[in-house]
Every structure is written in structure tokens, then in C-alpha cells.
């Protein structure tokens, strides 16, 4: 199977190891992975801030770059939800404004074949045991877009439970937002910081070494809060855990969580 990796802006700029982990993981599972160099922002930041028309050229670009692939895999629940949930809405709004159905027809082919990483593994490849080894205690935070937008359900947990050496600990208040919310954190910094502190205190109560999630934007917010509160925990993207093996741990997996 030949798929395209949609890395996303945040990962490309700040967390390239997550992209490398996705490639290592999928290649290990027999998937051919391409990284289309023409990919840009999906338009989520623009759309969610109220600049819907400005997001449309980015959505068209996404459809142009990724349209030829069997599947599009992204290590981001929020960007995956942008394509799957909001691209159809953009097409509908354009039609309602009297601009025809060109945008809807352009975006339609990429919507059903865009997958967040864990749902691609479980639903498309049909695997939960990916041969990973990660000897640490971990607690899992289900991010809002993955939980409510994409309906990932227990897919990430099933994958984590199959990792050898990993002890998964229940996170109190797991389904509560961490407070990031993209530009919400900029517009409402005090509320965002308070929500982040609540999330980190709940995570710290588990005694886990690592807090894991499927979206680095949320992990960035949580990790910054961990740093300010001087906890002993470390945020790690689920792709880096699943890519780790005894023979070749990923970069994040090789470091001691308290390092």
C-alpha cells in the first residue's frame, strides 16, 4: 500500500521526530510512505480563527497535493478533523454563498481517505500490536479533536496496551480539554493556563513517567505547563512510542523521561 504522510505545520516546524517515527513505524508494517514536498498548511488555523475564505486556497492545495494517494496519514487529530469535518462544510458554505460546487467537488476525494495515524493502523491495516517496545509507565490523554471530532475511541489505548514493557495508567479527567485549543490559548490565556495546570496535576497523580497523546499541539501546551510546574513527567507523541523497538528506539524513547 502506498500512502502519503501529511506531517502538518506544527510537526514540520517543531516536532520532525514525530514524522520520522511515523515513517519508521509504517515502513516496518510494510507500507510504502511518500512525503509530498508540495504540502502546506491545511488551513485549520485560518478557519478556526474566522478566516474561512483565506483557508480555501490551502484546502485546494491539500486536495491537489494529496489527491493521487490511496490514503493520507497524519499524526494529528486536529488536522485530520479539519480535513474530514470542516472541508465538507467549506464546500457547503461556498455553495450556499452562490459560488457553485467547484470547491466541494475539489475537496471531496481527499476527505474519506484522510486518516489519523491510530485509526489508520487499527481500521485500515487491522493491527493493534505493531511490535513496539517501550519500558516506561505511561498515561494517555485523548485530545479533543481525536476524541470528539474523529471519534478515535479506544484505538490509541488498544495500541498502547499491546506495547511490550509499557505500563498504561488511567488518567483522571482524561476527557477534559487540556486548554490549548489553538488560538483559544492566545485569546484566553488565563483560562487556558488553568486548564493546562489541571490536566498536568491529574497526569502527575498517576505517577507515570510519560504523558502520551496523538497530537503534538496539545502536547506542546501540556509540556510547557509541565516545565513551569517542574514536574518529573515528559510528553511524548504516540507515534514515537509505537515506533520504538528493542533494536532501535526512537529519539524520544531513548531518553530517560526525567532527563
Look at residue 178 in the predicted model and tell me its pLDDT: 87
What percentage of the chain exceeds 70 in pLDDT? 95
What's 182's domain CATH number?
3.40.50
175 shares a domain with 62: no
120 shares a domain with 7: yes
**CA dihedral sign, ordered 58, 60, 64, 67:** positive
120 shares a domain with 84: yes
What pLDDT digit, counting tens, does each position of 80-110 carry? 999 999 999 999 999 999 999 999 999 999 9
237 shares a domain with 158: yes
Q: Stretch 35-47: mean pLDDT, rounded?
A: 94
| CB 149 within 8 Å of CB 218 | no
**Cα 74 from Cα 237, distance rounded (Å):** 12
Residue 184 lies in a domain: yes
Three-state DSSP class for 129?
A: coil
pTM value is 0.91
Torsions phi, psi for 167 (to 5 deg): -105, 115
Q: How many CA atoms are closer than 13 Å to the CA of 216, on its beta-carbon side?
A: 19
Q: Stretch 206-225: mean pLDDT, rounded?
A: 94
Res. 19: pLDDT tops 70: yes
| CB 205 within 8 Å of CB 172 | yes
Look at residue 255 in the predicted model and tell me its pLDDT: 42
- DSSP code, position 135: -
For the chain, how big is the Rg over CA atoms in Å? 18
Residue 259 lies in a domain: no
Number of structural domains (the chain) is 2
154 shares a domain with 99: no
Torsions phi, psi for 244 (to 5 deg): -75, 140
Residue 7: pLDDT band with limits 50, 70, 90: very high
Q: Which three cell numbers stand for residue 181?
A: 485549543
Res. 22: pLDDT tops 80: yes
232 shares a domain with 152: yes
**Cα 53 from Cα 46, distance rounded (Å):** 9
What pLDDT digit, counting tens, does each position of 154-209 carry? 999 999 999 999 999 999 999 999 888 777 877 888 998 999 999 999 999 999 99
In which domain, by residue range, is 40 found?
2-124
Q: What is the dihedral of CA 206, 172, 132, 20, to 10 degrees?
A: -100
Amino acid at each position: 500500500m502506498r500512502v502519503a504522510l501529511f506531517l502538518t505545520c506544527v510537526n514540520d516546524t517543531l516536532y520532525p521526530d514525530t514524522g520520522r517515527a511515523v515513517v519508521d513505524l509504517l515502513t516496518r508494517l510494510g507500507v510504502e510512505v511518500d512525503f509530498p514536498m508540495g504540502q502546506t498548511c491545511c488551513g485549520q488555523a485560518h478557519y478556526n480563527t474566522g478566516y474561512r475564505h483565506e483557508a480555501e486556497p490551502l484546502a485546494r492545495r491539500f486536495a491537489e497535493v494529496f489527491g493521487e494517494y490511496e490514503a493520507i496519514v497524519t499524526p494529528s487529530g486536529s488536522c485530520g478533523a479539519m480535513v474530514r469535518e470542516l472541508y465538507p462544510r467549506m464546500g457547503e458554505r461556498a455553495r450556499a454563498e452562490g459560488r457553485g460546487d467547484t470547491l466541494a467537488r475539489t475537496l471531496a476525494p481527499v476527505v474519506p481517505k484522510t486518516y489519523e495515524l491510530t485509526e489508520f493502523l487499527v481500521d485500515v491495516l487491522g493491527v493493534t500490536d505493531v511490535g513496539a517496545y517501550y519500558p516506561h509507565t505511561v498515561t494517555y490523554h485523548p485530545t479533543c479533536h481525536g476524541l470528539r471530532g474523529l471519534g478515535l475511541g479506544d484505538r490509541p489505548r488498544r495500541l498502547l496496551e499491546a506495547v511490550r514493557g509499557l505500563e498504561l495508567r488511567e488518567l483522571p479527567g482524561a476527557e477534559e480539554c487540556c486548554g490549548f485549543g489553538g488560538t483559544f490559548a492566545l485569546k484566553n490565556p488565563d483560562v487556558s493556563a488553568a486548564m493546562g495546570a489541571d490536566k498536568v496535576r491529574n497526569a502527575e497523580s498517576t505517577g507515570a513517567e510519560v504523558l502520551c497523546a496523538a497530537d503534538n499541539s496539545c502536547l506542546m501546551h501540556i509540556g510547557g505547563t509541565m516545565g513551569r510546574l517542574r514536574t518529573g513527567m515528559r510528553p511524548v507523541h504516540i507515534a514515537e512510542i509505537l515506533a520504538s523497538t528493542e533494536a532501535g528506539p526512537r529519539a524520544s524513547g531513548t531518553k530517560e523521561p526525567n532527563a
